[in-house]
């Protein structure tokens, strides 16, 4: 189930290679994989998603987020991926939450107002309240 955050990004729980043609048909131009391989038994590998994305004509970037949390290089990689995309991006992880959080951190790092990011996320069903201190910190640096 895609959760549209704004006209530039949506997030989703785990996708499969079979989902990629429909994602392309929906107008997305790139996929961001925020899930590490082997996180859960039976999940498709990043390589399988990459191959299917490329076969469907979609860009693919892997920025895995583990239980260790977010790092500045991950935030910067997400910001760069979103800036380089010439259309809407779909980011996914196990539930969509890490993808939403990384999008918000990338936006804050780029100068977007945390209040606006929080409001967009809330409309998509995500509560960024606990992430606010980190958004403020990356925005300040």
DSSP letter at 110?
T
Cβ–Cβ < 8 Å for 118, 2: no
Residue 90: count other Cβ atoms within 10 Å of its Cβ.
28
Chain segment 57-67, per-residue pLDDT in tens: 999 999 999 98
**pLDDT at residue 141 above 80?**
no
Mean pLDDT on 7-15: 97
Tell whether domain 3-140 is in CATH 1.20.140.10.
Answer: no
- For residue 82, give both structure tokens: 């979103």
Q: What are the tens digits of pLDDT across the range 35-83?
A: 999 999 999 999 999 999 999 999 999 999 998 889 999 999 999 999 9
E strand or H helix at 9: strand 9-12
Average pLDDT over residues 22-34: 97
Q: How many CA atoms lie within 13 A of 78 on its CB side?
A: 30
At 87-126, the pLDDT tens digits run 999 999 999 999 999 999 999 999 999 999 999 999 999 9
Please give the span between the terminal C-alpha atoms of the chain, in angstroms, as a whole number: 34
């Amino acid at each position: 189930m895609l959760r549209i955050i704004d006209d530039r990004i949506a997030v989703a729980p785990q996708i499969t290679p079979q989902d990629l043609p429909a994602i392309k048909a929906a107008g997305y131009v790139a996929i961001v994989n925020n899930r590490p391989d082997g996180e859960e038994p039976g999940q498709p590998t990043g390589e399988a998603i990459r191959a299917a994305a490329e076969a469907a004509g979609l860009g693919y970037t892997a920025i895995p987020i583990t239980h260790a949390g977010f790092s500045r290089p991950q935030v910067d990689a997400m910001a760069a991926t979103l800036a380089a995309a010439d259309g809407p991006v779909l980011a996914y992880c196990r539930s969509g939450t890490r993808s939403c959080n990384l999008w918000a951190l990338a936006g804050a790092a780029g100068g977007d107002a945390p209040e606006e990011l929080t409001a967009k996320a809330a409309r998509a069903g995500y509560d960024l309240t606990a992430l606010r201190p980190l958004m403020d910190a990356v925005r300040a640096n």
